[in-house]
């Protein structure tokens, strides 16, 4: 399996984690600042990993 495919798979895993963290919120309090921060960091890391994987395959 090429390294680009592994990067894409890892990036999609990170994007799923970002979605999962962002979706989980408290009924009364909503999302915390730390929860949004971690979701944004995972989102950026996932997007960079997918973009890097696509560029490696091209």
**CA–CA separation, 28 and 48 (whole Å):** 34
Based on its alpha-carbon atoms, the radius of gyration of the chain, rounded to whole angstroms, reads 14
What pLDDT is attached to residue 55? 95
Structural domain total, the chain:
1
> Does the predicted TM-score (pTM) go above 0.75?
yes
- For 2, the 3-state DSSP assignment is coil
Task: Give the residue numbers spanning the domain of 15.
Answer: 3-57
Reported as a single tens digit per residue, the pLDDT across 28-39 is 778 888 899 999
């Amino acid at each position: 399996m090429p390294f680009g495919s592994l990067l894409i798979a890892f990036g999609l895993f990170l994007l799923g984690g970002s979605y999962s963290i962002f979706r989980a919120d408290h009924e009364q309090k909503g999302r915390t600042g730390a929860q949004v921060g971690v979701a944004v960091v995972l989102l950026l890391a996932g997007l960079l990993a997918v973009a890097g994987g696509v560029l490696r395959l091209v």
